[in-house]
Structure 1
């Protein structure tokens, strides 16, 4: 097949992200600023590596939802929290799965597993608009399927235990929930930028190998802080998948928070890292250079 032949020849993605994770980032010790990704790369749509990356995002998000929702249900169904892994266990499940899945998929798709991460990297010109939209669609489909499989295996417990759907907890306002999602996603996306920084990769060869670890740990810490407030979204695909499969009114009442919050947080992280930390001129990253 043409796609397989292409993959064998290249040994990697034909149209990769400009700043890959994992060992694929270890090219040489000399720092070179990756060129900004074009807004649209027509060749991507004809490349098997493009679709392979989307499939990797789908499968990773599917596994992420399946394992984490089962963990949430296990804690919710126990009459005694002391007999379960508790909030700490839920946080470890989310953080641990991100660590494992980023490690597995980083060399194929970049290991986003989260539309907010994809959005932040898109704003920083790390991938094209075509790839960003494709990733987000595949992530949402994977999340829906992951939650759907859990419900298919355990339909009654799934509905009774809330299906892992994100809602703002009683005693907190919508503003509290929105703030928690913004800051939580900022922490995650800022960690992604820092862990995959091309300049650090050139200086410290161990950084790209360890990249999945701080990302997973950031997810763990954010969950510890925000599970009591929103159940922790910081991932629009995760929130959407659970809401669609659970499909109760209260699961949809706060759904906007789990999209607006993460996207604002991701945008702030992208601006902070690129403009403040890295001091990359905005003009060099503008999508319409002729207008700047």
Structure 2
């Protein structure tokens, strides 16, 4: 009995009141985590590696499937006589968020599951990948988006032309500044979520983080769409906007197109800056 009482006493006082929990418990001491080295700006050896091209193909296929499913969903909603006869705005948001969740899960181990030039740009600024790979990814993402939108148009050409092909544009009642702001903030939410969900330091501490990473990313896309579909149709992905604009190819689809490149790239840059400098304080850490 005395031994048991001693165990209880020791157990109750083993940890002090100031024992750090959560993110406060993250330290370099006693952890298997080491800050990864920044990716080189140019990596010529990548060009001779099959994994490099396999990753680009994965980005192409993922973006193709993303545009195919999401634009078909948009066409189904806009062609319905009433929103109640279709999945509605919420269904469109779920289609975008759900596809990102599924596609990031499928391709994360091959290419990182970017499926978005803005995400690639943000990770490039954070030195998570080389410029060589970033440019290749962006090209493949845009090609995949064009092909995905093209297949949707081939399936229902009349409806596609009648309903603007799912192209992004600033809605009536909103200014171009409103649209640009919505794209900046929306992309910031997405890219900041990507950084947080895939943080290598969290992965070292919490083994479940890599498994759950696609879920918050998909939810971020879903929530941003709920908020900004009435403003811009929600771009936050230059490849998605480009693919729809090229296949629709009308002045209406090109008038505001610059917003859907400038806004996402600014939002991605701000998210990278915030996460690396403020959250992780990487520039201030001793080497």
Task: State TM-score, norm by structure 2.
Answer: 0.88
Residue 202 (structure 1) aligned with residue 199 (structure 2): no
Please state whether the residue corresponding to 2:129 is helix, strand or coil. Answer: coil
1:12-161 alignment runs, 5 A limit: 30-161=32-163
Report what 2:213 is aligned to: 211
Report what 2:24 is aligned to: none
Query: How far apart, CA to CA, are the structure 2 residues paired with 1:149 and 1:258?
Result: 22
Superimposed CA distance per residue, residues 101-124 of structure 1 (whole angstroms, 9 cap, x where no aligned partner): 000000000000000000000000
Report what 2:14 is aligned to: none
Give the drift of 1:94: 0.0
Query: How far apart, CA to CA, are the structure 1 residues paired with 2:101 and 2:34?
Result: 27
Report what 1:256 is aligned to: 258
Superimposed CA distance per residue, residues 131-180 of structure 1 (whole angstroms, 9 cap, x where no aligned partner): 00000000000000000011111111110111110000000000000000
Query: How far apart, CA to CA, are the structure 1 residues paired with 2:201 and 2:52?
Result: 26
Give the drift of 1:210: 0.2
Task: State TM-score, norm by structure 1.
Answer: 0.87
Match of 1:185 among 180, 184, 187: 187
Please state whether the residue corresponding to 1:119 is helix, strand or coil. Answer: helix
Residue 174 (structure 1) aligned with residue 176 (structure 2): yes
Query: How far apart, CA to CA, are the structure 2 residues paired with 1:172 and 1:282?
Result: 41
Query: How far apart, CA to CA, are the structure 2 residues paired with 1:59 and 1:107?
Result: 14
Please state whether the residue corresponding to 2:281 is helix, strand or coil. Answer: coil
Report what 1:228 is aligned to: 230
Larger Rg: 2
Give the drift of 1:125: 0.2
Please state whether the residue corresponding to 1:109 is helix, strand or coil. Answer: coil
Query: How far apart, CA to CA, are the structure 1 residues paired with 2:71 and 2:106?
Result: 20
Query: How far apart, CA to CA, are the structure 2 residues paired with 1:51 and 1:277?
Result: 33
Superimposed CA distance per residue, residues 82-101 of structure 1 (whole angstroms, 9 cap, x where no aligned partner): 11110000000000000000
Superimposed CA distance per residue, residues 15-64 of structure 1 (whole angstroms, 9 cap, x where no aligned partner): xxxxxxxxxxxxxx611111100001111000000000000000000000
Residue 247 (structure 1) aligned with residue 236 (structure 2): no
Gaps of 5+ in 1: 1-28, 286-292
Question: What's the Cα RMSD here?
Answer: 1.3
Query: How far apart, CA to CA, are the structure 1 residues paired with 2:284 and 2:271?
Result: 15
Query: How far apart, CA to CA, are the structure 2 residues paired with 1:282 and 1:115?
Result: 28
Give the drift of 1:283: 9.7
Query: How far apart, CA to CA, are the structure 2 residues paired with 1:154 and 1:238?
Result: 19
